[in-house]
Structure 1
Amino acid sequence: MKNSNLKRIDLLQVYRGLAAILVLFFHGSVILSQQFNQQEFFFNIGGVGWIGVDFFFVLSGFIIYYVHQNDIGHPNKIKSYILKRFIRVYPLYWTILICKIVALFFINYGNSTYDLSFLSSLKNISLYPQKERLLNVSWTLSCEVFFYIIFGILIVVGYKRFLPLFILWTTGILINSVWFIESFQGIPILNLIFNTINLEFLLGGLIAYIISTQKITFKRGLFFNYLATFLLALFLTMYQSQVIDDGTGIMWAFAFALLILGSAAVEINKTIKIPVFLVYIGNASYSIYLTHGFFVSNIAKVMTKLNSSVVTSPPLVINAVALMIFTLTIGLGCLVYSYIEKPLITLLRAQLLPRKLT
């Protein structure tokens, strides 16, 4: 199956930004609740922000298949694929990781202790799964890299030869989802391989396959968007009412998959004018994602030192302060993107990706 006329879908970039902001609200609410002694922010909407990770994973599965579908079954494309994926993930991650290590010597992280042994450091650098990490959010990057490896195997061997491995792998995931295998939790690499989160990447890939092989009309795209919006609102209501809990990621992933399917169909069929700043925030989503914890924590510390009374302020004032901190964090993440991530990627692509590989 070939599709050489891939259309850029800007809505997906907007969704990447939205996913990053959801995670920011989740982690930011936790951090500020500790520093401001406030139990709830924004009516606890931030408490469901963890679904941003599920959104990210479905988006990643979609984007990887959508962009690299023509490489499948062509082993000569693997070098370009590996270099592109490496450049996308590791350079900025290593930059932020180094900053975190340096910060450990100057910033008080309370009772937190970090393992800086050679083996642990090597695992942090390579994103090899482990229980304790220098960057908490890096566990999601380990999942991303593993999916990249699986997709790389698909590129090399093609659909038919990949099928037996795919069946074995997905069977293990499904067995683990139904019959919880406790030993997997004690062995990080097995937990990574058979984690049900992998189904979210596969769901995104399936949606990309449907978009690439089926003509989905504009009206059907709108229908999928409406259905996804209804499901997300329903799940949010159920979550806030404690009918469902944090272990329902695949439910949210299904709704996000419908949203992506509908949005992709709508934009492929009709040109949509999307505000440039929303696309820009989407482009900066990786920088925002990697840096948001550091910025929220330290901005809050500075504010409490400058004005300690903020801790005892009424809830309305504290929520306004939290919103200001989150907005500033997004802005700083965008600066990291513009002045570190983007130049770094441009430089490395020019050096490592000759034109014949692009």
Structure 2
Amino acid sequence: MQVEARPRLLGLEFGRFLAALLVCCFHFSIAFENLRHDRVFDFAFRAGHAGVDYFFVLSGFIIYWVHSSDIGRPSAAAGFAARRILRIYPLYLAIFAAMLLAFTVAPSLRGPREFSFWNGILDALLLPLPGDGVVPQAWSLHHEMVFYALFALMVLNVRVGIVALAAWQALSLVIGAMHPYDLAPAIKPFFYIYNLGFGIGVACAWAVTRISLPKPGLVAGLAGLGFIAAMAAEWYIGRDVPENLLPLGGIASPLIYMGCAALLILSVSQIEFRKPLPFGRLMAVLGGSSYCIYLIHAPLGSVLIRLFGVGPLAELPNRAVFVAMVAITIAVSIGTHLLVEKPVLKWLRRPRRHPQPAEGIAA
């Protein structure tokens, strides 16, 4: 059965880039405070972690948008699994291996993290693990794997999958609300409140072609302003709050950001249905590089902030160093995406030719 491919929504691609950039700036801000004792730009990116909230909603949206036609078709399960594996693992494993090598050559880059062989295996497979991972941002991919498994259940059996997904969302809300900060790392992928983003994204993807917003541009503007206002409020009241705590509340914060993200995704998609967005090619490249930005910014930033402390580079003001680090991260990520990730994925996804039986041998 041939299924028509859904169009790529470039507005969401650009949103994914902005979300990755927010997370990058958030972690760079923490690095400057810890290593240079400077709250660069007055810690303006205190709320940059909100990019992760956007990612969770976007992931739920994209998976349903791309794979909704697979639901209830067990024959599509293998294809669904293959597409997800190829999208997530090649770049992740390459960065995972590079970081292991870096930790071996320069143990100081590892920081206080402790690793074990079995945790390394779990980490490489993106399975929930009890301790720190090699790639710091991979924690969100552990949640992604749980979501993929539950979506695969819907592919295999609609009713079972819907019940399982609904139960997961309910448990994530209840348990996540009860324990917003103290869930064990191995338990978080199953019951963290951020998992609600996947369900919200799925609901948006289901609704986007069924519910027409009369003024999607206005909705997008208000949702964007709401997202920015929440970030500004968090910055204002949370400049002296530890970075691992959420000034807007462990429950309210993700719900506010994910709610704004849902409205943004829904409205921007409907804008694009009506009229192609300008700068589509640029949006596609930036969005394509976002996964690389998300994975490499922390290790790359750890190296860059040290390099900018050597020789004449040490004389540069911290704000200039911050901007340079962000620019280098974007450039490296775009280059990696265009020159490495895309060609490798194209090669891995190429159609396989099965050998034909020789004449006279086939029964």
- Judge same fold: TM > 0.5, yes or no: yes
CA contact (8 A) 2:109 2:302 kept: no
The yes-or-no answer on 1:69 pairing with 2:72 is no
1:56-92 deviations in Å (ceiling 9; x for gaps): 1111111110111111110111111100000000111
CA contact (8 A) 2:180 2:192 kept: no
- The 1:246/1:332 distance shift into structure 2, 3 A limit, reads farther
Q: In the TM superposition, what are the counterparts of 1:88-103 in structure 2 within 5 Å? A: 88-103=87-102
Q: In the TM superposition, what are the counterparts of 1:330-341 in structure 2 within 5 Å? A: 330-341=330-341
AA matched with 2:125: S
1:237-273 deviations in Å (ceiling 9; x for gaps): 3212217436312210110110111100111012222
Which residue does 1:291 correspond to in 2? 296
1:109-138 deviations in Å (ceiling 9; x for gaps): 267244443211111111112221111111
**1: distance between equivalents of 2:51 and 2:228?**
15
Note the C-alpha offset of 1:346: 1.0
CA contact (8 A) 1:281 1:334 kept: yes
Note the C-alpha offset of 1:169: 2.3
The yes-or-no answer on 1:56 pairing with 2:59 is no
CA contact (8 A) 1:154 1:162 kept: yes
1:193-215 deviations in Å (ceiling 9; x for gaps): 1111110111111111001333x
**1: distance between equivalents of 2:5 and 2:88?**
26
**2: distance between equivalents of 1:352 and 1:302?**
45
Which residue does 2:207 correspond to in 1? 210
TM-score, normalised by the number of residues in structure 2? 0.87
% same residue: 25
Which residue does 1:234 correspond to in 2? 229
- The 1:147/1:200 distance shift into structure 2, 3 A limit, reads same
Which residue does 1:350 correspond to in 2? 350
CA contact (8 A) 2:150 2:164 kept: no
CA contact (8 A) 1:174 1:196 kept: yes
User: How many equivalent pairs are there?
Assistant: 342
- The 1:296/1:185 distance shift into structure 2, 3 A limit, reads same
**2: distance between equivalents of 1:196 and 1:100?**
29
The yes-or-no answer on 1:301 pairing with 2:296 is no
The yes-or-no answer on 1:272 pairing with 2:277 is yes
Relative contact order, CA 8 A, sep 6+: which one is greater?
1
**2: distance between equivalents of 1:223 and 1:9?**
19
Pick aligned residue for 1:201 from 194, 198, 203: 198
Gap runs ≥5 in structure 2:
239-246, 355-363
**2: distance between equivalents of 1:144 and 1:254?**
19
Give me the CA root mean square deviation.
2.4
CA contact (8 A) 1:80 1:353 kept: no
Note the C-alpha offset of 1:351: 5.9
Which residue does 1:321 correspond to in 2? 321
The yes-or-no answer on 1:179 pairing with 2:178 is yes
Q: In the TM superposition, what are the counterparts of 1:7-22 in structure 2 within 5 Å? A: 7-22=7-22
CA contact (8 A) 1:17 1:285 kept: yes
- The 1:233/1:291 distance shift into structure 2, 3 A limit, reads closer
**2: distance between equivalents of 1:258 and 1:126?**
33
Report the structure, 1 or 2, having the larger helix content.
Answer: 1
- The 1:32/1:200 distance shift into structure 2, 3 A limit, reads same
